[in-house]
A and B are shown apart, each in its own frame.
Chain A
């Protein structure tokens, strides 16, 4: 593939690019070149999602999204931004998938509902029968070179898969097994993560990934380690309410357990991010998101139907019982004379 940018430089650029540099703008010429030279096309499909990931992609500002979509990425199908609709569009998608079998990339946005044979999410028709999203992901996904799961829903299940999960939503890699899946989580993911991952697979192939299939170039940092409020944490200054200066750990910030580079990359074209706008990190790039309390320091323990307690409450009650037990035993000890006046006449052998 004709490119002057080495993979090493590319990853360094992705991992290191702060708000000051426009990663997409820098990458665009290389990607255009690759696409012009016949890089694999990209098909984007949506399942149980809120379209937030697509909206986030549209926030790519340098160069503007029009240029990215028409010149940089050979995007052949996208439910929201393509002009075609209905049968015409579906036929085109199947045609692209068939013609480029094993040589196109499938972007999946949204979880895959598998309950009721996938009927909770139908995405089109074929020969008068509706196609469920589960079937579409399986059939098209098997033909693709790799699947890019954009957003936490497709990567880990996310909001649709959070209990009670009546539609039995699943992550894409639980549904399609034999195709490499790259997870780009986030709610929504940063446009750079999406464009950067597409760029990596187009130019260099599958990127280096961590345990949860996230590209290491974007997801190897802990938010807490690069947080602009980190100094507050180190100095023991903690916010009690929103809007106060201070580390927001006690307000439920998930920064210490969240992997991504939002704190240095910044959203909306390098303007702002969750903590800078006064909110806590909700850990949206983690596999367990959002099955935890977003504004609590620690999750509560379920102890019975519709009953939860905090660990502190359990500990304090048990501690109270222990102290009461000890007090009672102490009284007993003194009353029976085990403590205090030692029985001198008792001679028992002790050996150890």
Chain B
């Protein structure tokens, strides 16, 4: 039987996702070597990781630029941008679902509020990384900005802390998406998801079927 499939991720979303995934992964690995070359012996010299780090930094800039442009043009922003007013009230039901206090969760749209918060947070974090990264990459060109942020030492600290946030949030992202089912992971490659995939219960269904208030 051929499964009924429906479109979930456009080719541009998939392209940006994997480009950014590759660049962020390499940035974290090379960045950690640059930070602690003696402890984190992934490379044999400093040239390769630095070249890679700078190349991947530019790749990430373009990847994020394309993703933001796409989100605006394709009206994808409503799917991924966290809105405090609309998405915060949806949190309790999502947390209940994740803590096994509820069997299902209401239908949130393409992404649940936690995902929206994470993806919006990533945009902020990426911007912080790009700004602090370029201050450290071109210390003479962005001297004033570096001074404004508290000097190069403070900039380095910010750059490093946000890297850790990336490591931790990517960990959660990978787990939560895989745990929702292989089709979710597959959809990031093929762009399609089975039409009968459980995206959450619609509010009217909850009221009639289970009686759990939304």
State whether the Cβ of A250 lies closer than 8 Å to any Cβ in chain B. Answer: yes
Tally B residues with Cβ within 8 Å of A. Answer: 52
Is A167's CB within 8 Å of the partner chain B? no
Write out the residue numbers on chain A whose beta carbons fall within 8 Å of the beta carbon of B195. 350
Asked whether any CB of chain B lies closer than 8 Å to the CB of A75, the reply is no
Residues of B within 8 A of A259 (CB): 139-140
Q: How far is the CB of B160 from chain A (nearest CB, A)?
A: 5
Check if A236 sits within 8 Å of B104, measured CB to CB: no
For B36, what are the chain A residues with a Cβ–Cβ distance below 8 Å?
Answer: 250, 297
Give the interface segment out of B59-67, B84-92, B115-123, B143-151.
B143-151
Chain B nearest Cβ from A65, distance in angstroms: 33
Are B140's CB and A319's CB within 8 A? no
A222 touches B198 (CB 8 A): no
A246 nearest in chain B by CB position: B38
Residues of chain A within 8 A (CB-CB) of B151 are 257, 286-288
* A311-B164, A332-B100, A339-B179 as given contacts; A299 in contact with B171, CB under 8 Å: no
Bound-state Cα–Cα, A339 to B199, Å: 15
Bound form: Cα–Cα A259–B142 in Å: 13
> Are the C-beta atoms of B37 and A250 separated by less than 8 Å?
yes
A234 interface residue per 8 A CB criterion:
yes
B109 cross-chain contacts in A, Cβ below 8 A: 352
Q: Considering the chains assembled together, what is the distance between the CA atoms of A329 and B157 in angstroms?
A: 32
Known: A311-B161, A319-B167. A349 touches B202 (CB 8 A): yes
Q: Could you tell me which residues of chain A, from 322 to 352, have a CB within 8 Å of some CB in chain B?
A: 322-323, 326, 329-330, 332-333, 335-336, 338-339, 346-352
Q: Cα distance A256–B35 when bound, in Å?
A: 12
What 1/0 flags go to A234-267 for Cβ under 8 Å of B? 1110101000000001100010110100000000
**CA separation between A256 and B137, bound complex, in Å?**
10
B110 close to A (CB within 8 Å): yes
- Would you give the shortest CB distance from A138 to chain B, in whole angstroms? 25
Min Cβ gap B142→A in Å is: 9
| Bound Cα distance from A336 to B196, whole angstroms | 21
A298 to B103, CA, bound (A): 46
Q: Is A51 an interface residue (CB 8 A)?
A: no
CB distance from B156 to the nearest CB of A (A): 6
Kindly list chain B residues whose C-beta atoms are within 8 Å of the C-beta of A322.
168, 171-172
By a CB distance below 8 angstroms, the chain A residues around B201 are 348
- Give A216 Cβ to nearest chain B Cβ, in Å: 9
Contact status A257-B160, CB under 8 Å = no
Partner of B37, one of A238, A311, A336: A238
Q: B153 contacts A257, CB within 8 Å? A: yes
A240 shortest CB reach to chain B, Å: 7
Does A336 lie within 8 Å of B46, measured CB to CB?
no
Which residue in B8, B46, B144 is a CB contact (below 8 Å) of A235? B46
Any B CB within 8 A of the CB of A204: no
Is there contact, CB below 8 Å, between B98 and A348?
A: no
Chain A proximity mask over B158-177: 1 for CB below 8 Å, otherwise 0: 00110010011001100100
- The answer to whether B193 and A298 have CB atoms under 8 Å apart is no
